[in-house]
Every structure is written in C-alpha cells, then in structure tokens.
Chains A and B, each alone.
Chain A
Amino acid sequence: DILMTQSPSSLTVSAGEKVTMSCKSSQSLLASGNQNNYLAWHQQKPGRSPKMLIIWASTRVSGVPDRFIGSGSGTDFTLTINSVQAEDLAVYYCQQSYSAPWTFGGGTKLEIK
C-alpha cells in the first residue's frame, strides 16, 4: 500500500496569513503515460463530510476559491492557502488514487486564531 504522510498534524494561524502544508507519498504518484499526478486534496470542516478541493495535484475543482493552490510532483506535494479566511477552519487530507487501495494522509488540522 502507498503510505501518505502529512505534516504538520496541526497549525494555528491568523486570518489573512499564508499557510503551507505538506504531503509525501511512499512512492511516485506520477503516471508516465499521461504525466498526471494521482493526488487529490480534500477539506473536511467540523461535523461535515469531506469536500474535494484539488485533483491532479494542482487543478482546482470548480467553485474552489483561488486562494487554494496545490503544487508538487512525484512524491512531494504541497497545499498552500493564501490569505486564510475564518471559514477555512478544517482538516485537510491528501489522497492518492495511483494504485489500489487508495490511501489518505493523516490530515492537517487548520485552526484560526
């Protein structure tokens, strides 16, 4: 199974600040055929179901604010939130769909001061 490791496990920032969180996979998620990274980011707000934010490591899903930016390739990925808003309070999960079983990182909990 591909192991997904997220860091930090939690972070606290003030509204308006920039946040960066990391996701590392135990093997490359880059498909040689189409050059896509099979890495997605999901946001789970308290008491809610997860919501997909980003697919292919860097493509925002329709309707997701452009302050959410995904980057990286291979085994190292980053989710950046520019100018964090109070509504961004949530746990963020990375998830690989390169090979079954699909696996998730342990999550990064974002708290707002």
Chain B
Amino acid sequence: QVQLQQPGAELVKPGASVKLSCKASGYTFTSYWMHWVKQRPGQGLEWIGEIDPSDSYTNYNQKFKGKATLTVDKSSSTAYMQLSSLTSEDSAVYYCARGGLGLHWGQGTLVTVSA
C-alpha cells in the first residue's frame, strides 16, 4: 500500500527557507517520479515540479524555478522540497504525490510564513 508521510505543519519567518520532507513506503521508491503540488488556502492546485528518484533528474514549472528545489535521499526513500526566500505568497499546503498511473497524494504540509 502506497504511503507518503509528510509533516503536518511548518512555521517559518519571512525571508527564511524551509525543507519539506515526504517519506515513501509500500513501493519501490526509485521506480516512480515524485511530484510536488501547491495549494493556497481556499484555492486550486498548482504543479511545482517532479523528480525521478533513480537519478535525481528534475522538471520544474517555470513559475517555481528559483523558489523550489527538489531532491531525494534514496537510502531513506524520502523526497525533499526546499523553498527559499519565503513570503506570505508561499503560505500554502504543499503535497507530494507519487507518479506512475496518475497521482497518489500525500497528506500535505501546511507552511505558514509569519514573523
């Protein structure tokens, strides 16, 4: 059974960075791309990008280049997304989602940017 574990929440200060984690289990981590999606409160879904865990090849939505950096740790089957230079516009829920046939979603991490 595919499981993607994400921390529930992160509180960060404006201008800082945060590194979000997504620990995968129930499947072979290196066999499926991992995607990241942003959802602002009460808003729709935005695709940030994807990473191939087998070789760390990445594709980014142009909108998030320079904002998001995707990495993986194969030894722990964990995907990461670092968000930099945070502003209030970055306050959102961030989901990781396993690719393959469609998207299998994690529970999401609520990032709140506040002083």
> Does A72 lie at the interface of the complex (its beta carbon under 8 Å from any beta carbon of B)?
no
Q: How many residues of B contact A (CB 8 A)?
A: 20
Given A100-B59, A101-B62, A102-B35: A50 and B102 interface contact (C-beta under 8 Å):
no
Tell me, rounded to whole Å, the shortest Cβ–Cβ distance linking B31 to chain A: 17
> Does B3 lie at the interface of the complex (its beta carbon under 8 Å from any beta carbon of A)?
no
Contact call B104/A93, Cβ cutoff below 8 A: no
Given A49-B95, A49-B108, A50-B95: A103 and B47 interface contact (C-beta under 8 Å):
yes
Contact call A61/B102, Cβ cutoff below 8 A: yes
In the complex, per-residue mask of B41-84: 1 if CB is within 8 Å of any chain A CB, else 0: 00011110110000000010111000000000000000000000
Q: How many residues of A contact B (CB 8 A)?
A: 19
In the complex, per-residue mask of A94-112: 1 if CB is within 8 Å of any chain B CB, else 0: 0101001111111100000
In the complex, per-residue mask of A80-97: 1 if CB is within 8 Å of any chain B CB, else 0: 000000000000010101
Contact call B102/A55, Cβ cutoff below 8 A: yes
Give 9 nearest A-B pairs by CB, closest first: A101-B61, A55-B102, A102-B47, A104-B45, A52-B102, A49-B105, A40-B102, A49-B108, A50-B105
Chain A contacts to B: CB under 8 angstroms: 40, 42, 49-52, 55, 61, 93, 95, 97, 100-107
